[in-house]
A and B are shown apart, each in its own frame.
Chain A
Amino acid sequence: MTTRQLVEAVKTTIADGGSIRPQGGGTKAHFLTMPDHSVVVSTQAHTGIVHYHADELVVRVKAGTLLSELTEILAAKGQYLPAEPPAYGNAATIGGAVAAGLSGHGRPYAGGLRDFVLGLRMILPSGEVASFGGDVMKNVAGYDVSRLQVGAMGSLGLILDIALKVIPKPLKNIVYNIACEREEALRLMQQLGKIIGVSALSYREEKLWVRLSGSAQSCLQGARQLPSDFKEIDAGLPQWEMSQFSGPDHLWRWDGKPSAALVQPGVIGMDWGGALRWLAVGTEGLSGLDRDRVTWVKRGLDPLPKLTTRQDGVGLLQERVKRQLDPNQHFINFPSLRLPE
């Protein structure tokens, strides 16, 4: 599908008075919690690599390209996306990953997805095509509108293609785990986070997982500092899948200091060395949540609680940016993820 066809689709929807919801594979649609009168404009047919210069650590890729396909293309040159954006399904596209702004296990150590976005081309709410940033590593011309799209959930326009910084894969990755309780896991994460070469610390299904990355030598050196009861796991580190979270309760994300006490209700998993905690809490447990640190992830069986966007100074400023960049609300708003105060 060409840029021109996508522009046509956007313009037609605008003319019909619809509110556009750009969508790739739809694997992250459950983050959109608002009542939905929006019209999907799909990027799924807008696929392919625009250019890939492995020697320069830059790839530009069309938004509808499958995340799995991009990962393979990079792997063929020994490179990868260090932010390890989670797919949450085979249909996941790179455009959707960027719009959702999610990062995987490597987030605290290698950086978040926004750290690797160099530029992008998009269809603005006016229906015009614009390009921000570029294909180069360093670029401070104009405001950083391309990084502003990371996590915007398509609220500021439809992403057409994205230039990303890529990195050579670590020479070696070794994964270990140990069975332990949550409290013990959090304590160990604080301690192990200091080891040079640690590239993931994740807790799930009553196991703490540790990944070491780097040269063979540095992995070895790191492994020597692990308590002796950690087991090496050949299969590597499993990704989080949304299907794992399929209980009756709603799923929430707690985000904060990794060292924060484990007082959140319903912690069923942790990542990012303790800075990210997944909470499965029923409606009755919601009152115990820290409203500043907790955001919506996925619906359970209970009725949906009423959610809002941030209402503090940051929230108001975000809303002003949205209003200026999309004055006629041609695109959906970014999602309301918070419990009201």
Chain B
Amino acid sequence: MTPAWRNALNAIEDLELIVDRARRKVYESDGLTALSQVPPLVALPATRAALQAVIKVCHAHQVPMVARGAGTGLSGGATPLADGLLVSLAKFTRVLNVDIEARTATVEPGVTNLAITEAVADQGLFYAPDPSSQIACTIGGNVAENSGGVHCLKYGLTLHNVCGLTILLADGTEVVIDREGLWQEGLDLLAILHGSEGLLGFVVEVKVRLLPQPESIAVLMAGFSTVESAADAVSAVIRAGIVPAGLEMMDQLAIQAAEDFVAAGYPRDAAALLLCELDGNREEVEEMSDLVSSVLLNAGAVSIESAEDAATRSRLWLGRKAAFPAVGRLAPDYYCMDGTIPRRHLAAVLKAIADKSVHYGLQVANVFHAGDGNLHPLILYDVSVEGQLEKAEAFGADILNICLDYGGTITGEHGVGLEKINEMCRQFNTTELSTFHAVKSAFDPEALLNPGKAIPTLNRCAEFGAMHVHRGTEKFPHLPRF
């Protein structure tokens, strides 16, 4: 970060540079506020040419770069570097093209997730992945995290709904990966870019698939007296041959917090609650809705409410959608975790988490994308109490380890970022991590993009001391150092 580098940046047109410390401070963290670093400089290019010029200058001067969308990420992916440039894509907010015939929209990376649907709604279309941060988060960030939403059980993740990307590599080279058709020739670069957390390239254009809005939607809410029976009910719905548009679960603490906050009419005394959304054409939804009601009752639902009108549906969803802020009222701080488990282990995993809650003396509320096994335990703590943040973090790490022990993963949709970098050493062995490094080298050989995030170095894992026998198959390997 030499004066020569600064001068070269200064010469770029259509580029705003934020130097003022108070304004830089705005960018010090993403949604994971426990980690912060005021960036030494923030670049806000307004055109692709300006962005490309910024990247080329950084490449020439070997200055690392961190891409930032809206900064809603929850794992520290967009946390600035002390010795790098923070590049905000906030000015790339244009919807470039909507092709009604082909049902695609081409947008710039700073367009918010919801803005895509808003741009096509009057054509009867929508963009399916709907992270709950959708009013704020950007499509570029969604691609980088492969974000999901409550409807991804039926409609898939970001990966399943993107058919083209334009990226700028770490040396500024533009690569257009646009699948006009549906056939994939050679290696699937679109797949590898999704969830790559800004380590492989800057996403500068995204072509998404649009879907016709369903004719009819129904929401069912069912209360259960045990978590086990709610989990069994989820299996029973799927066994009946139905893949709902959404299938969410909340535990008792989450239910009560939501009721206190928004009074959605949830059964306060239920140990667990399921919300099930069904969509399709009218007759089909009626048919499915009757079937799911009886399945839920057979599975032991103690209360059930269903709605097809928009007002009641949004009331039933309100508690789930407000669950995070509602839980946030129970304690000054909360820490949101994001593991996925094979669903058959749900009851055992929740029990193990409850035991840890007692051990650490911190409460935990669970909201859960039940259809696909993605858990979001919310750990309650108070940062002003000495040692509680550390306890919460240790509790969080334990939860991720529990997920791994039951055959799951340390992150379902929020990414690794800085937060779960150590747990990566548990989920993957040196061979697997080396493969990730090889992928990185193909895209960014000098490691200028978002260094230190997502994929730990082997060195780091050795220091973390978590190099261990992996799934019982490997002997302790020799540790190469780099």
Residue-wise interface mask of A (30-48) relative to B, using a CB-CB cutoff of 8 A (1 in contact, 0 not): 0000000000000000000
Q: How far is the CA of A310 from the CA of B186 in the complex (A)?
A: 8
Interface residues on A, range: 35 or more
A313 at the interface (CB under 8 A from B): yes
Q: Mark B417-459, 1 if CB is under 8 A from A, else 0.
A: 0001000100111011001101111110000000000110000
Asked if B71 is at the interface (CB within 8 A of a chain A CB), the reply is no
Determine the distance from Cα of A141 to Cα of B238 in the docked complex, in whole angstroms. Answer: 26
Q: Is the CB of B343 within 8 A of A56?
A: yes
The segment from A10-18, A104-112, A229-237 that touches chain B is A104-112
B373 interface residue per 8 A CB criterion:
yes
Q: Which of B176, B195, B238 makes the CB contact (< 8 A) with A313? A: B176
- Say whether, besides A141-B416, A313-B173, A151 and B188 are in contact (CB < 8 Å): yes
Indicate whether A255 sits within 8 Å of B344 (C-beta atoms), given known contacts A132-B432, A143-B439, A325-B438: no
Within A289-341, the residues touching B (CB, 8 Å) are 293, 295, 309-310, 313-315, 317-318, 320-325, 334, 337-338
Question: Chain B residues near A151 (CB, 8 Å)?
Answer: 184-188
Could you say which interface size class chain B belongs to? 35 or more
Pair A112/B156 contact, Cβ less than 8 Å:
no
Q: How far is the CB of A290 from chain B (nearest CB, A)?
A: 11
Nearest CB on A from B479, distance (A)? 14
Quick check: which of A67-75, A85-93, A213-221, A279-287 contacts chain B, the rest being far away? A213-221
Closest to A138 in B: B412
- Interfacial chain B residues near A9, Cβ < 8 Å: none
Known contacts A217-B287, A259-B101; is A141 also within 8 Å of B435 by CB? no
Minimum CB–CB distance for B136 against chain A, Å:
19
Contact A136 B181 (CB under 8 A): no
B212 at the interface (CB under 8 A from A): yes
Question: Contact string, B267-306, partner A, CB cutoff 8 A, digits 1/0?
Answer: 0000000000000110110011000000000000000000
Q: Which of B148, B196, B280 contacts A214 (CB 8 A)?
A: B280
Which of A121-129, A179-187, A200-208, A241-249 makes up part of the contact surface?
Answer: A121-129
Q: If the complex has contacts A56-B373, A168-B243, are A321 and B185 also in contact, measured as CB distance less than 8 A?
A: no
Given A137-B374, A313-B174: A318 touches B439 (CB 8 Å cut-off): no
A138 in contact with B432 (CB, 8 Å): no
Known: A141-B427, A143-B196. 9 other contacts (CB 8 A): A101-B184, A136-B342, A138-B374, A138-B413, A140-B416, A143-B192, A143-B200, A147-B192, A218-B281
B-to-A contact residues, CB < 8 Å? 101-102, 145-146, 148, 152-153, 156-157, 159-160, 169, 173-177, 180-189, 191-192, 194-196, 200, 212, 215, 235, 238-239, 241-243, 280-281, 283-284, 287-288, 340-344, 369, 371-374, 407-416, 420, 424, 427-429, 431-432, 435-436, 438-443, 454-455, 471, 473-474
